[in-house]
Amino acid sequence: MVPTLKGRWATRILLFLWIGVPITFLFSLFVAGPRSPTLPLLGWHYDILPFQILSLLLLVGLILDPVYFYFQQFRWEKDWPFAFQFFFTIIEFVIVLALVWWGVLDFTRPRSQLHTTDNYLLYTIHFACIFIPSFIALLGLIQIFMIRWRFKSGEWGRM
């Protein structure tokens, strides 16, 4: 990948909207249960916790993007290998876990409902469900739909 900073942000938001949100929506459908608070919709109960995690992931990513871009400047090719992307996305998730552990979501519900082993397992499964398709999208799915994306440093739209 050869992203610019704007391209990094644009691609991240694209993946958030087209992969993160729908998958989290489905995911919440299946994991919603006794955990509260929940969001009743069409007679179903959705847990909004996965959405909170997803938003945290987006936020951490958006903040780290300039850092990546800064380090990219020291690379002769001004590129960012897929392997880096892979590795740092996992790091981003670890940061999110640390933030949750540290208590950034504590204002949403009682600590006892957030910090269970079950929940951390759930966060990880949720992350995997988003990460794998997002990465596949980066590897080629995006350009099937958006032919100009790869020439636009990751930004969307026309030339």
Partner 1 sequence: MVKFPILLDIYQRGEGPLKRVERISLPEAGDYAIGRLDENQIVLDTPEVSKRHALLVVREDGIAISDRGSTNHTYIGDSEVDTSPWDGALPIRIAQFEIHLVPQTASGAETRVNVSEENATRAVAAGSTAASPAPAPRGQSIEVALNAPNAPSEMRFPRNVFKSEIVSAAEIKSSEYFAGEYTYLTVGGGLGSFVWADHLRIFGVGTGDIRAIGDDVIPYANYQRLCRNSQIPPHERLRSNSQSTPDNIWGFPGYASRETWKDLKEFRFGGIKYIFQVFGEASLAQTFTPRSGEVFKSIDKEAQRIGWRDMLTYGRVVGIRKTNDERYAVAYRVPEDQARGGLRERIMIGKFLHIATGYPATRFTDDLQAFKARYPEEARVFNAYENHEVVYRTIESKQAPASIVVRGRGIVASRIIQRLYEARDKNKGITIIHQMRNPIGPKEGYKYKGAQRYVYNHIENQAFNWPKACWGGQLLRETERATPEERVKIYEALGGTTTADRRDWRNIIQLGIGDGWYKPVFGHFETLELVKTDQGPKIQMKLKARRDQPAVEVVADYVIDCTGLIGDITHSPLLRDLAETYKLPRNLGVGGGKIGGIFVTPDFEIAALRNGSGRAYAAGQITLGGPQPGVDTFLGMQYSALRSVDHLAVLGAPNVSLFGPLRSFTQWIKWCTNAVP
Cα–Cα distances in angstroms (integers) from residue 120 to residues 73, 88, 117, 126, in the given order = 36, 19, 5, 10
66 binds partner 1 (CB under 8 A): no
By CB under 8 A, name the one of 44, 78, 94, 106 that touches partner 1. Answer: 78
Segment 116 to 155, residues that bind partner 1, using CB under 8 A: 139-141, 143-148, 150-153
Minimum distance, C-beta of residue 153 to partner 1, in the bound complex (Å): 5
User: Which DSSP string corresponds to the chain?
Assistant: ----HHHHHHHHHHHIIIIIHHHHHHHHHHH-SS-SSEEEETTEEEESHHHHHHHHHHHHHHHHHHHHHHHHTTSTT----HHHHHHHHHHHHHHHHHHHHHTTTTTTS-HHHHS-HHHHHHHHHHHHHHHHHHHHIIIIIHHHH-TTGGGTTT--S--
By CB under 8 A, name the one of 76, 112, 117, 118 that touches partner 1. Answer: 76
Stretch that binds partner 1, among 32-40, 45-53, 74-82, 105-113 (CB under 8 A): 74-82
Segment 20 to 39, residues that bind partner 1, using CB under 8 A: none
79 binds partner 1 (CB under 8 A): yes
By CB under 8 A, name the one of 67, 81, 91, 94 that touches partner 1. Answer: 81
157 binds partner 1 (CB under 8 A): no
Binding stretches for partner 1 (CB under 8 A): 2-4, 73-79, 81-83, 86, 139-141, 143-148, 150-153, 158-159
